[in-house]
Every structure is written in structure tokens, then in C-alpha cells.
Structure 1
Amino acid sequence: MNARRFAVHSSTSSAEEVGLVGDGKCAEGQFGYLVNEYGWKVRRLVENADEMRKAAQVQAEAFHVPLALFNDLFFDFFQAEVLSGLVYKLRNSPPNRYACLVAEPTTNASDSQKQVVGIVDVTVLRDKSVLQCLPAAEVEEYLYVSGIAVLKSFRRQKIATLLLKACDVLSVLWGIEYLALRAYEDDFGARKLYTNAGYRVVSGDPQWMTTWIGRKRRVLMIKRSNLHTFNQAT
């Protein structure tokens, strides 16, 4: 598939049907800006130390559980663990099987001044327990969305919505028909966000995982990408 023929979602220009938003300049293996709306734009993470640290900080701040004692110390450990995992995935995953997407303001800042305000991981997977929940029996893989996070001071500004849109664009560029993610059953805010983005609940964790292990129950949500309509149009 020629990615440059895909019309990228952008509220700033309806004429940019080239697969890239902005000036189109991107490093090898990158797609440039995937979406550009609401004053934010989303692109693939560049593999350099400073940017990876910024991305890890966003996820660490979103998912760290505060502790009464030594909270700062444990946060530093947690952030280091998040960074280590991110570096490993970036360096050991094929470029069309994993991507870390980051959101930043649309202002034209220099590379050193770019602020990462949101992040999401997308991975091509073949988990049978998820595949059996997809309506198309012939589907062999799907795009799994995880680790979506937005800096606290930038929430409620459509950044998470834009990150999910970028996942949709990437699914078409990679030729993946279905996307999937998991949310806690009682996290109604997150579930509303995903529902508004087109996801629907298809299954949940088995009861023994919540009663025996004591883990919060999660639901699996899926959506069909625009790949089928894009293929018909081309």
C-alpha cells in the first residue's frame, strides 16, 4: 500500500492528501505527522535519548501509584523501568509491528524544545483469545493499543482522542483491519473515551482473575479500522 496516497486527518488543510502532515519531512521508517487537530499533532517517536526520556516520563506519571513513604524514589525506579521497556521495544521490534506515538503542540518549536504531552503504544499481535472475538474469522492479526497517557496538566484537551485517531491512521498504513484495547471495567471515563472513538466491548477477564488473584476486571474493546473503505476507494 502506498502510504502517501492516504488522506491524513487534519483540521488545518483538507488538501494535504499525501500521507504526511506539515512539511512532510521525516526520518527513515517514520510517517511524519499522522494527525493534526485541536492544536496538537501526533507522530511516531524518534529514537533518541532525550525524546525517549520525555515519553517515559509521561507514561510513568500517568501509571505510577503514589506511596506514603519514599514516593519520589519509587517513582524514579518506575520511570527507569518504563524507559527500559520502551527502549527495548523500539530496538527489537520490526518498524511495521510496533510504534510509540507521541502528541505535541502544533507550534513550530525546535527539536530540543518539543514537548511530549501524550503517548500511546501500538503493537501488531496475534493473541488467539482476542482473534476469536473479532467478527471476521479470516483475520490473523490486529493492532493492539496500550499505554495511552496524557500529562495531567494537558488533560481534557482532546489529546487522547487525537492519539486514538492516529492509531486508526496507522492501522490503515500497516494494512490492519481491526484494533483492540483493554480498559478497566469500572473506569467509565476511559470506556466513554474509547466508545466515542468507535470501540465496543466484546469480552471481559474471567471471574477467577478478579476473585482469586484480586485484580481489577478488564474488558476487551475492539473496532474496525477504515482499511476496508480505503481499499474500496482505491
Structure 2
Amino acid sequence: MSDERTSSERLLDSANFSIRVAQLTDLGGLADVLADSFHPRSGLMHWLYPLLRLGIYEDLRNRLRSAVPDYVCLVAVQTSTEQDLSASAPSDALMGTVEMALRPAHLFQFHQTKYLYLSNLAVRSEYRRQGVAHHLLTACESIALSWGFQDIYLHVLENNHQARRLYLKTGYKLQQADPGWSAWLLRQPRRLFLHKRLTPMSAAQLT
């Protein structure tokens, strides 16, 4: 099966996978990755999982079809080997995803009126610790610079130590933490708001 992607769609290549812009045909895989990452199938969640996955699917479909300015959804896909192709396997397998969009700044004390925000960074469990999340962040930073932005923001849960280590390693720093009383009332970990200042060499240094 020949690769018909254009150079503009393929943003970054590693030895085992590529980063490209998500397509509508990726919706099923995207919904699986996000639902499995953020809604583990344990206890009551096992019964709610199909409904949660459907909600994720519909939300993503609306975003991908709306062609919102300054929004991008990226996917990491595993390219097939010759052996896979001879066995009639799919040409690629979706390994992870991330979204980036321009948001209004009324919730935070910024000098600018809008800011770039990363969300829904997720990697399939079997593909973790292979650099997938690292490369998705790298691609987002390259796009941010091409859009003329030098700052990126995101949230991470205080108890998500693996994600916090990833962001710290790639240069993100704490901007502010959600008020402790709200986390206490809801009995949930606090959300930490992180920031990274980009330079033209930032993305290149991460590769």
C-alpha cells in the first residue's frame, strides 16, 4: 500500500512512527485512545465506558469537521513493516494524540488576550515509554512557532507523576496551581497550570 500523505500532513518522523494531522478516518482510534487513557474501565466506569467513548467521539468529530482557526489535532501513527504489509495489516496504527488550540485568556492573568493551550495528550498503554508523547509535544511546539506564538500552556493533575516528569523534562514550568480548597471539596487532586516559553531552537533541541 503506497503512502499518499502529503509532506504538509506528515510533520515529524522517528524510527518507528510518524506524526501527522488527524483525519476524520482516525476518529474511532482517537476515541479509543482518549477513553482508555482518561476513563479506566474499573468499577462503575466499566458500565459508563461506552457512553463516555461516544461523547469523546462526537466532540472530536465536531472539532475536526468545524475547521476552527488556530486548532490542530495530531496523531502518532506506527508505520507498517514489509512483513506487516504482506500479511494485509493496516498501513499504520494509531499510537497517541494531542490537541492544541487558541483560547481566550479571561480565566488567567495574562498580558495577551489569547493563548495556545495543549490538551488531551494521550498514548496507548502498549506504546508508552517509546518517545511518542515527547514527539507529539515537539510537533506542537513547531506548529506554535509557525503560527507566531512563543508560549504554550497546559494543565496536569498533581498526582499524575509520569506526566509531570515528562513536562518538566521538556521544559514546562509551573505557572499556577488551582486553589486547594476546590480540590479538597471535590476530593480530587489539584490541577497544575504549566507554561513553556519557546524559542526558534526549542523544538529542534527536543528531537
8 Å CA contact 1:52–1:87 kept in 2: the answer is yes
Report 1:78-89 matches (<5 A): 78-89=52-63
Normalised to the residue count of structure 2, the TM-score between the two structures is 0.83
Residue in structure 1 matched with residue 30 of structure 2 by the alignment:
55
Question: Secondary structure, in 3 states, of the residue corresponding to 1:211?
Answer: helix
Aligned partner of 1:186 among 155, 159, 166? 159
Give the Cα separation in 1 of the matches to 2:64 and 2:4: 25
Once the two structures are TM-superposed, the CA of residue 154 in structure 1 deviates from its matched residue by 0.8
Structure with the largest fraction of strand = 2
Question: Secondary structure, in 3 states, of the residue corresponding to 1:118?
Answer: strand
Once the two structures are TM-superposed, the CA of residue 79 in structure 1 deviates from its matched residue by 1.1
Normalised to the residue count of structure 1, the TM-score between the two structures is 0.74
Gaps of 5+ in 1: 1-21
Gaps of 5+ in 2: none
8 Å CA contact 1:99–1:121 kept in 2: the answer is yes
Residue in structure 2 matched with residue 35 of structure 1 by the alignment:
12
Aligned length: 196
Question: Secondary structure, in 3 states, of the residue corresponding to 1:116?
Answer: strand
Structure 1 ranges of 4+ moved more than 6 A: 108-111
Give the Cα separation in 1 of the matches to 2:166 and 2:202: 23
Residue in structure 1 matched with residue 41 of structure 2 by the alignment:
66
1:213 partner amino acid: L
**Does 1:207 pair with 2:184?**
no
Give the Cα separation in 2 of the matches to 1:70 and 1:145: 26
RMSD of aligned residue pairs (Cα, Å): 2.6
**Residue 179 and residue 37 in structure 1: after superposition, are their counterparts in 2 closer, same or farther (change >3 A)?**
same
Once the two structures are TM-superposed, the CA of residue 228 in structure 1 deviates from its matched residue by 9.0
**Residue 24 and residue 79 in structure 1: after superposition, are their counterparts in 2 closer, same or farther (change >3 A)?**
closer
8 Å CA contact 1:141–1:176 kept in 2: the answer is no
**Residue 63 and residue 199 in structure 1: after superposition, are their counterparts in 2 closer, same or farther (change >3 A)?**
same
Once the two structures are TM-superposed, the CA of residue 190 in structure 1 deviates from its matched residue by 0.8
